[in-house]
Structure 1
Amino acid sequence: MSDSTGTLASTPGFAEWSFPAEAGAVRTARTLVRDTLHEWGLDAVVDVTVLLVSELVTNSLRHATGPIGLRMYSHAGPSLLVEVSDPLPDPPRERAADTDDEGGRGLQLVASASRRWGTRPGNQGKTVWFELSLPG
């Protein structure tokens, strides 16, 4: 399927989706990630993965106007790799949020909760990714 909530590709250990940059994208991403990780038997990382995907999709939604892509891979060793892409070429900036700020902590959260994270430019935009260790 190629609609906004359908899986574009899915095999054991790999899933890919694309969403329009609309308000429901974060909720849709959370649901798809949760359901897919349960299906893959990765219940131990569901909560942290959903939280970090929510942060990255929210960042894309706030700053980009085009489609948001989401990919998950669990077949590359004892880890889960998650990527969120959007058409904005500018990399996200980590910033120090003041105590009273309502935002600005998303990338700090990604950095502290993941094993590794980073960004890379794409042909049309960028990808922000994170990696989580899987229990084993």
Structure 2
Amino acid sequence: MCSFTPAAELTLPMDMRAAAQARSFVTEASCPAHGSHVYDEALLLVSELVANAVRHGAPPITLEVSCDGSMGMLVRVSDGSPAAPVAKQASLEDESGRGVALVDLISDAWGVEPTSEGKGVWFRIGLAA
């Protein structure tokens, strides 16, 4: 982790306002030492993870953003459910079910880790050019 910029954390509401609050919070995250800043892909992924936590998780929902040095930005969404997200095969008509696939496709790396309260789903996304 970055020694210049401490991780920032926010507890989110257990409703659909959470994704918008998460996007605003992530937009403010940056590291002057490594020049990290957020771009559209990171905002999309944090929206997907927070929406999944609201729909399928349990309180509390916590968002953590940190600089991962020259590797980019690390984002973690934790909630109170131990159940890991499940990738689905969404049809063209489905209005949801693509979040895990998007995280897998767009992020540089991602994973799920157990926490004392449930689970944390994280992704790392590289520095914007």
Structure 1-normalised TM-score? 0.82
Cα separation, 1, equivalents of 2:5 and 2:121: 22
Could you say which structure has the higher strand fraction? Answer: 1
* 2:127 is the counterpart of 1:127: no
Quote the residue 2:42 is aligned against.
49
Q: CA deviation at 1:13?
A: 4.7
1:129 Cα deviation after fit: 0.5
Higher RCO (Cα < 8 Å, 6 or more apart): 2
Contact 2:49/2:99 (<8 A) preserved: yes
C-alpha separation in 1, matches of 2:81 and 2:36:
31
Deviation at 1:54, TM superposition (A): 0.2
Letter in 1 for 2:15: E
Say whether the 8 Å CA contact 2:72–2:125 is kept in structure 1: yes
Q: Establish whether residue 79 from structure 1 lines up as the match of residue 72 from structure 2.
A: yes
Identity, % of aligned positions: 39
Q: Is 1:116 aligned to 2:109, yes or no?
A: yes
Task: Check whether the contact 2:29–2:65 (CA below 8 A) recurs between aligned residues.
Answer: no
| AA at the equivalent of 2:57 | A
Are 2:25 and 1:32 aligned? yes
State the superposition RMSD in angstroms. Answer: 1.9
1:67-106 alignment to 2 at 5 Å? Answer: 67-106=60-99
3-state DSSP class of the match of 1:42? coil
For structure 1, list consecutive stretches of 5 or more residues without a partner in the other structure: 1-10
Distance 1:135 1:54, change over 3 A: closer
